[in-house]
Amino acid sequence: MREPQRFIVLLAGICAMALSQTTPAAQISAAPAETQGDITISQQHPRVYLNATNRDRLKKTLAASAPEALRFKKVVDSAVSGANIYGFSAHFAALMYQLTGEEPYARLAIEMVDKDVAAAEKAIAAGQKPAISGDSYLYVGPGIRALSLTYDWCYDRLTDQQKQRWLNYANQAVWNVWHHPQAHWGNVQAPWSGWSVNNPGNNYYYSFLTATVTLGLASQGENPQAADWLALFRDKIANQVLPYFRDLEGGGSREGTGYGVAQRELFAIFDMWKASTGQNIAPALAHPRDSIFCMIYSTVPTMDRIAPVGDHARESTAALFDYHRGYLLVAARLAGDPQATGITRYFLDHCSVPPMRNDFMCIDDFAYGLGDVQPLPLSQLNPIYYASGIGQCYARSSWQSDATWLHLICGPYVESHAHHDQGSFLLYKRQWLAFDENILTHSGIEQGEMHHNLVRFEKDGQIVKMAIGSQSKLLALQSEDSFLYLAGNTSDAYKGSDKRLDNSDKIKSVVRQMVFIKPDCLVVFDRGQTAAGIERIWQLNTPIKPTTAVGGKGPITLADKTKLTLVPLDESASARLVDWSAIDSKEYHGGWRVELADRGPSEFYSMLNVIYLDDAADSVEPVADGTQRGTQIKLKDGRLVKILFSTTGPIGGSIKIKRNGKNVFDGTLSGEVPELPLFNQ
């Protein structure tokens, strides 16, 4: 389904700022679980967002001529003057009306909403579906939010006829979302798929919730259906949202780092609900706070791009963008943790998006600005982070901009925007070295195995595919001062929940083990079992063309800002180079794939490869000891590293690191996944 970032207004987060007033109000009943209890909704307008605290804060920011306030006002003033501003929403102008009392702001907001409602009424009268139903109601969130907030904030400027027309239209749109088999417009039946109406992990769901809660809050007491929308919202939060996100330990999204940023709409809803009703949902979840750290760790050391996990349809290069800034700002608002907020402030001050780049997003800087928060350096953080709920581990050699950064994905594959990338790794130092080829595509939605850095399996020239509905498992995470050991089992990725996609008869077991010898050396050991006749192909995708010939034996090197050397340690492996642009120059605009193929007759396979950066190693040699095989690496800094992997057990082995004849580390590779400290000890 379409990238959530494309519906700009949905990500224009003013609804995320909490707004309410505290006059006596209706009590909403039938609220289950954590959303039980009394809530208070103002009988007077405004009801949403502008409680006394938020109103005073924003007025003071505006009166002080803070840069973020002046920019927002300038954008709204331009719209009032007739400028066509990309992504501009009616509620931007409605907010300025509330803060200044100046009538032109209200007039613009009302004209914009009235135009949309009139267009919808015209379509319905003609027996057609209005635009808001397009793309499985993806745009219902921004559309009904703009209507609802303008209704609330400009209520005194609306005619009785406008109020009734707006509510009739909005009620039908929200009703259709939650009653998809019976959906209709006027007398015309308009059933639709109901895509993700019960999936809190999908970006569409947040649009549906946004429409429901803003309409319910804004029109409570004047709209007979408002209480139903609020009760439905509370049910969704208690019985779907909270259980789902409690399982998302470590933060982030199973949709990836592209579509996953739409979770900021959920964070915005929590913030709005608290201020509008007095009920705080956020403390029931660690997810908003965890997601701050998950996003920071997913950002590479140069602080200008994120791990390219999942579809990136808006912009395939995974560059850090306004949406990520907005995500962190609203998450920090919910975190309730000064340390997390201070870390967020430092990150946002030093990343490539210090203020919003685009006018339609500048409202987030105005609403959530962290100007009074003391920044805390990232160096306080542990360099290793594991988000078990999304199955992603991030590691870096330091918090300096030239650090080596590593990512491994091994967890649930359950969302349509996720990729066939279980067991894949990413490597970055000053630039992408081992990356997701999706970065250099036109579409940003190339999901297949060949685009990732893993072992690809083929039968008679056809790729054996991973299956959605599967659960890979991280088996080991051993973090030491001198190295990091990771091991993951991705066998289940070929089974999935749909028997029609089941390839478990072809792929018996797939295990990847990695040792990151800090700061610049990575050892990758792959073992498994397949059915007879399955070809196993070890892949490394890179934007840099190798400078040494691929096709013979020996190391393979590529160099640009950083030099990478790949040393295959399997005698039977034959190397070849694939030019992505030669496959399809319209879709792929660069990139190469190094392949090391194992065509041995045995059902069992093992592949051992060593990668080092900037000539960090003087020599790399294979070693063996009984039922163990591995490598001995002489590093340029004087360390001698010997790693042996078990070839009989599922994982494990030993590692010995010496410097000048003295042991730095001598022990086993542990098969445990302990809880990591977030901050340096």
Please, which residues have CB within 8 angstroms of residue 494's CB and are 6 or more apart in sequence? 464, 465, 466, 467, 470, 502, 503, 504, 506, 507, 510
Closest to 304 measured CA to CA, from 290, 313, 288, 315: 315
- Helix 103-125 to helix 140-153 angle (10° resolution) is 130
- Per-residue pLDDT band for 3 (boundaries 50, 70, 90) equals very low
**Percentage helix, strand, coil for the chain under 3-state DSSP, each rounded to 5:** 35, 25, 40
Which pLDDT value is given to residue 205?
98
Name the least confident of 32-36, 85-89, 217-221.
32-36
Which pLDDT value is given to residue 77?
98
Which pLDDT value is given to residue 553?
75
Q: How far apart are CA 78 and CA 158, in angstroms?
A: 23
Whether the per-residue pLDDT at 552 is higher than 80: the answer is no
- Other residues' Cβ atoms within 10 Å of the Cβ of residue 671: 17
The helix (H) or strand (E) run that includes residue 566 is strand 563-568
Which pLDDT value is given to residue 601?
75
Residue pair 211/141 in contact (Cβ under 8 Å)? The answer is: yes
The CATH class for the domain spanning 4-25+34-283 reads: mainly alpha
Whether the per-residue pLDDT at 444 is higher than 70: the answer is yes
Specify the fold of 382-618. Answer: Beta-galactosidase; Chain A, domain 5 (2.70.98)
Which pLDDT value is given to residue 460?
92
Which pLDDT value is given to residue 574?
78
Name the least confident of 1-15, 53-67, 138-152, 316-330.
1-15
- Cα four-point dihedral sign 284, 288, 289, 290: positive
- Per-residue pLDDT band for 665 (boundaries 50, 70, 90) equals very high
Which pLDDT value is given to residue 676?
96
Mean pLDDT of 148-163: 98
Name the least confident of 131-135, 528-532, 573-577, 583-587.
573-577
Which pLDDT value is given to residue 237?
97
pLDDT, one tens digit per residue, over 203-218 is: 999 999 999 999 999 9
Sole residue written with tokens 């389904």: 1
Q: Which residue has the higher pLDDT, 154 or 283?
A: 154
Name the least confident of 140-144, 389-393, 622-626.
622-626
Which pLDDT value is given to residue 36?
54
- Domain 4-25+34-283 identical in fold to domain 382-618: no
- Per-residue pLDDT band for 258 (boundaries 50, 70, 90) equals very high
Mean pLDDT of 407-411: 98
Which pLDDT value is given to residue 38?
78
Q: Verify cis geometry, omega within 30 degrees of 0, for the bond prior to 543.
A: no
Each domain of the chain, given as residue ranges in start order, spans 4-25+34-283, 382-618
Which pLDDT value is given to residue 498?
82
pLDDT, one tens digit per residue, over 597-607 is: 887 678 999 99
Whether the per-residue pLDDT at 317 is higher than 70: the answer is yes
Q: How far apart are CA 288 and CA 368, in angstroms?
A: 15
Whether the per-residue pLDDT at 593 is higher than 70: the answer is yes
Q: How far apart are CA 521 and CA 620, in angstroms?
A: 11
Which pLDDT value is given to residue 639?
97
CA 118, distance to chain mean position in Å, is 36
Q: How far apart are CA 254 and CA 252, in angstroms?
A: 7
Average pLDDT over the chain, rounded to an integer: 92
pTM: predicted TM-score of the whole model, two decimal places: 0.92
Which pLDDT value is given to residue 25?
34
DSSP state string for 601-622: SSSEEEEEEEEEETT-EEEEEE
pLDDT, one tens digit per residue, over 23-62 is: 223 333 333 344 556 788 989 999 998 998 999 999 999 9
Whether the per-residue pLDDT at 309 is higher than 50: the answer is yes
Which pLDDT value is given to residue 621?
96
